[in-house]
Amino acid sequence: MEETLVFVYADEAAAEQVSAPFSSRGYTVEILSPDGEGCLDKVAEAKPMAVVLDISDDWMTPLVVAQGILADERLSRPLLVFVGGSADSIAQCKATLPFGVYVKPEELVWVLKRLGLQV
């Protein structure tokens, strides 16, 4: 399959668990740390159809990554899906990026199915 999904998670074990339904179905899955070296470059190389950003513990770092993705001319505006977070962190993110998709972890598969992924 040509579809690539990038999961930006500080907790790699959580990212592996969340991404498992997609990688097991043959999708290309990249797991990146939001504060890892070259995160934005790796997203650009992957050319994902969606970037899933975990905001359950820290919302500011993933938000900065998302802003970088939107400003990067190498990318064709992948869907930005923010997962988790408290009501306050979601409100903070929405104030900056109102057009992102904000979901609970259990809603992620449903949302990505709407993109046409066979999960």
Q: Which residue range is the domain that position 24 belongs to?
A: 4-113
Q: Could you tell me where the DSSP H helices lie in 27-97?
A: 39-46, 60-71, 87-96
Examine residue 67 and state whether it is found in any structural domain, yes or no: yes
- Give CA–CA dist 52/101, Å, rounded: 9
Token pair 């109102």 in the structure block, residue: 98
Which residues are CB-neighbours of 71 under 8 A, at least 6 positions away?
Answer: none
Examine residue 85 and state whether it is found in any structural domain, yes or no: yes
Examine residue 53 and state whether it is found in any structural domain, yes or no: yes
CATH number at residue 73: 3.40.50.2300
pLDDT tens digits, 41-91: 999 999 999 999 999 999 999 999 999 999 999 888 889 999 999 999 999
pLDDT at site 1: 45
